[in-house]
Chains A and B, each alone.
Chain A
Amino acid sequence: MYDDTRYPISAAVLERHGEAWRMIASPGPFWSGAERVQMVAEARAAMHCDLCRRRKEALSPFAVQGSHDTVSDLPAALIDMIHRLRTDPARYTRSVFASVIAAGIPRERYIEAVSVVNASVIVDTMHASLGLPLPELPMPEPGLPTGQPTPDVVEEGAWVPITRVSDRNVSDTGLPGAPNIARSMGSVPAAVELFFTAFRGHYALRDIPLAVSQPQAEFIASRVSALNECFY
């Protein structure tokens, strides 16, 4: 990964992206390594999917029906969710989550898929934005899903239960020590670990260890949030 580039990419990013790729290929709590790799393949296929293109052009993505250009045998509701999340996050609504649940996919499996897809979005965006070919899909590790101990979560107004926390102190960043975004996938701790393995080298709330200033990083973050219509 990143072998052919002359760009000075942060060592933390290089290391963590490689680790995230290995983690994706391993069995997760609720999906096998092969299924997780299929999710990444499906997210990539979404970028060339004709239905996704027509939905993106429509005033409402929910007004356009059809079949996705798929590359996996994942459940149809999950494929639809992955394609929408990859190509049109700004217009991703609770009904997409509800359709996955209605298809009989438990919310823990949904959360794990969200983590896998979005970890791959980070890796692929980094490559493509530097003009690099996307890394080859990792070779899935054999084995069944691992399961997990019962997580300590609480209902606090999200679509899914989030990690329970006791410390509500707020730092001078204006955020609590455990902001909701870090708690959002708490129903599947391995999903939190995977996603933040991919993300952590990309940002810090203070003293960002990159060659952009903190205000520059916040400007970029704000612009991405606006483009993706991120409420949080």
Chain B
Amino acid sequence: MLLRASGQRENRDFNLNAVNEADSDSGVEHSDHLRALTEAAVGSRWEELTSIRAAAAAAMGEQAMVDALTVAAGFNGITRVADATGIPRDPTTQESTVSMRSETGIDDFDYAAKTARYEGRAAAGG
């Protein structure tokens, strides 16, 4: 959601669907490397990260590569705070992102939806 706000401030229109679609162009510079770094870091694929870091550093520079991982590490923590406290969205975000959440699938992360999806499967023997 902040990606959209960031684009608005810079008068750019980023493709938000690209966050979840690797084949789509987000419009964000070096997003292929950002995606690879982020997915490997959050997925704890430490051995793969060796080559991913090298490729990203060659394309973006070493400082940007390190700082991309810095952002990923921070959000790997803060998303868990949200997940563990069940906080609602801020009202303005809730009101202004209805269609975007639907288009990008973010509504699937609703607490009740996750409970039904994951605990429901357990009840059904999943």
Contacts and interface: CB of A to CB of B under 8 A. Distances in A.
A198 interface: yes
A180 B28 contact: no
A85 B80 contact: yes
A114 B89 contact: no
Contact of A131 (B50, B88, B121): B50
A47 interface: yes
Interface stretch (A21-29, A71-79, A119-127, A138-146): A119-127
A232 B109 CA distance: 9
Interface string A11-31: 001000000000000000000
A199 B74 contact: yes
A66 B84 CA distance: 22
Interface string B79-122: 11111111111111100100000000010111100110011111
**Which range holds the interface residue count of chain B?**
35 or more
Nearest to A203: B74
The listed residue with most A CB atoms (<10 A of its CB), out of B6, B12, B89, is B6
Contact of A228 (B79, B108, B121): B79
A223 B35 contact: yes
Interface string A159-202: 11010000010101111100111011100000000010011011
Contacts of A104: none
B72 A129 contact: yes
B78 A215 contact: no
A95 B74 CA distance: 26
Contacts of B121: 59-60, 62-63
A47 B46 CA distance: 12
A179 B110 CA distance: 18
Nearest to B18: A219
